[in-house]
């Protein structure tokens, strides 16, 4: 496995983010390892177990999607689908609270907005749309991409879940066994791509230049692949040990949303943000981002963009995933008592937040 700094031709065009972002925080540009076609065991040892993010190159080289996916293709096969687009006003306003403003429209209308982009301060985003629904609409979509198999994924029911046997703690052993029972009983029947996609929570992101996903860590402590097909995305990371500096909302482990608006931090109200270390990288078409369990990330599209993402649960994060199940019920009760999830987070439902 090779580990190298950004591609020679990558960085210069990728420019630096506006200096006012992050206030006084320590922003480290181009700080994420890039690994080409890694050996799976080495990747698990160096990134999954250490919970380090990475940009993986080479995983998507055989994807027909790299040639096919674009706005014309999506218009042709998905234009008549009813979707909800997240509309973001980027003009100096706080971005928090703008993640949940969804407007119903046809997919083709969203694509028109993205392509014409007449009002560049307004971004349109199809956020985390379930891929299995797209496959049901246009079954050939499943020919366009491969499900990454780099790290074990117990949510991927094509393969039986396996533990390494290194855990001696009987409580942990029992927890892992229980998680496996929920996630994966090992399928001897072939599962359709649509079923597998739904089990791994595969989602699509299609949006204009400028969309922002503010700092969050993925719900239920899942890790994720973010596979970039069209356009570039600027990605910021904050390690889990620094979570207090982002002022997480209640139920951090299971529904991690930061209260700091990193594009306009309020250092009077949130002084710890001053000391946060933020790692940045730019994800290019054909590159896959590995987001570890519990890692905080914020993502901005630098161009009109299409990305595919799915969740990962395995021995590394299965206990976290399992213990989030009861927490999820408590969190739902809490949000209900506060006037509903939308009142607290702006999100329409749990699945708005990938
Ligand atoms: O690309 C985005 O806007 C968000 C992606 C994300 O947060 C994820 O895949 O976990
Ligand atoms: Fe995420």
Taken as a whole, the chain contains a residue count of 354
Does residue 291's CB lie within 6 angstroms of at least one atom of ligand 1? Answer: yes
155 CA to centre of ligand 1 in angstroms: 19
Question: pLDDT by residue (tens digit) across 189-207?
Answer: 778 899 999 999 999 999 9
**CATH number of the domain enclosing 272:** 2.60.120.650
Divide the 354 residues of the chain into consecutive groups of 10 and give the mean pLDDT of each group. 47 75 87 97 97 98 98 98 89 64 89 88 90 96 95 94 91 95 78 91 95 91 97 97 91 78 90 95 98 96 97 96 87 72 50 42
Instruction: Tell me the C-alpha distance between 261 and 284, whole Å.
Output: 25
- If one counts the domains in the chain, the total is 1
Structure-block tokens of residue 200: 């791994």
168 CA to centre of ligand 2 in angstroms: 32
**Sequence-ordered list of residues with C-beta below 8 angstroms from that of 100, at least 6 positions apart, any chain:** 86, 342, 345, 346, 347, 348, 352
Residues of the domain holding 42: 2-352
Burial class (CB in 10 A: 0-12, 13-18, 19+), 8: exposed
CA dihedral 59, 63, 67, 73 (to 10 degrees): -120
Does residue 44's CB lie within 6 angstroms of at least one atom of ligand 1? Answer: no
pLDDT for the residue numbered 4: 44
Question: pLDDT by residue (tens digit) across 91-134?
Answer: 766 666 666 567 889 999 999 999 998 777 889 999 889 999 99
291 CA to centre of ligand 1 in angstroms: 9
Does residue 123's CB lie within 6 angstroms of at least one atom of ligand 1? Answer: no
**Sequence-ordered list of residues with C-beta below 8 angstroms from that of 81, at least 6 positions apart, any chain:** 106, 107, 134, 137
pLDDT for the residue numbered 5: 47
Structure-block tokens of residue 60: 């998507």
pLDDT for the residue numbered 98: 63
3-class SS of residue 298: strand
Instruction: Tell me the C-alpha distance between 315 and 318, whole Å.
Output: 5
**Sequence-ordered list of residues with C-beta below 8 angstroms from that of 279, at least 6 positions apart, any chain:** 28, 31, 32, 53, 236, 237, 238, 239
Atom index in ligand 1 nearest the CA of residue 212 equals: 3
354 CA to centre of ligand 2 in angstroms: 5
Does residue 218's CB lie within 6 angstroms of at least one atom of ligand 1? Answer: yes
Sheet of 256-257, strands arranged across: 26-28, 277-283, 233-238, 296-301, 212-217, 256-257
Tell me how crowded residue 96 is: count the other CB atoms within 10 A of its CB. Answer: 19
């Amino acid at each position: 496995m090779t580990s190298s700094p950004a591609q020679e031709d990558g960085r210069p065009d990728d420019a630096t983010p506006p200096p006012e972002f992050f206030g006084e925080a320590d922003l480290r540009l181009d700080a994420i390892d890039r690994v080409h076609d890694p050996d799976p065991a080495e990747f698990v040892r160096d990134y999954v177990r250490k919970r380090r993010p990475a940009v993986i190159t080479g995983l998507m080289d055989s994807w027909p999607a790299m040639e096919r996916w674009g706005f014309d293709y999506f218009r042709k096969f998905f234009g008549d689908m009813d979707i909800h687009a997240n509309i973001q006003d980027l003009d100096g306003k706080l971005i928090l609270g703008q993640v949940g403003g969804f407007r119903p429209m046809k997919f083709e209308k969203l694509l028109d907005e993205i392509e014409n982009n007449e009002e560049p301060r307004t971004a349109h985003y199809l956020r985390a749309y379930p891929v299995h629904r797209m496959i049901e609409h246009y079954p050939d979509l499943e020919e366009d991409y491969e499900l990454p198999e780099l790290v074990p994924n117990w949510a991927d029911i094509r393969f039986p879940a396996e533990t390494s046997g290194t855990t001696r703690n009987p409580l942990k052993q029992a927890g892992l066994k229980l998680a496996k029972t929920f996630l994966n009983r090992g399928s001897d029947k072939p599962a359709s791509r649509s079923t597998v996609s739904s089990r791994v929570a595969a989602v699509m992101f299609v949006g204009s230049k400028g969309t922002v996903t503010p700092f969050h860590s993925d719900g239920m402590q899942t890790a994720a692949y973010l596979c970039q097909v069209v356009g570039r995305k600027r990605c910021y990371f904050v390690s889990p040990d620094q979570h207090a500096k982002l002022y997480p909302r209640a139920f951090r482990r299971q529904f991690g949303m930061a209260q700091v608006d990193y594009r306009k931090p309020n250092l009077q109200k949130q002084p710890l943000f001053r000391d946060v270390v933020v790692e940045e990288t730019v994800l290019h078409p054909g590159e896959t981002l590995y987001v570890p369990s519990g890692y905080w990330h914020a993502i901005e599209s630098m161009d009109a963009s299409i990305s595919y993402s799915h969740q990962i649960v395995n021995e590394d994060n299965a206990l976290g995933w399992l213990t989030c199940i009861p927490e999820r019920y408590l969190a739902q009760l809490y949000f209900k008592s506060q006037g509903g999830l939308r009142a607290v987070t702006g999100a329409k439902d749990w699945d708005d937040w990938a």
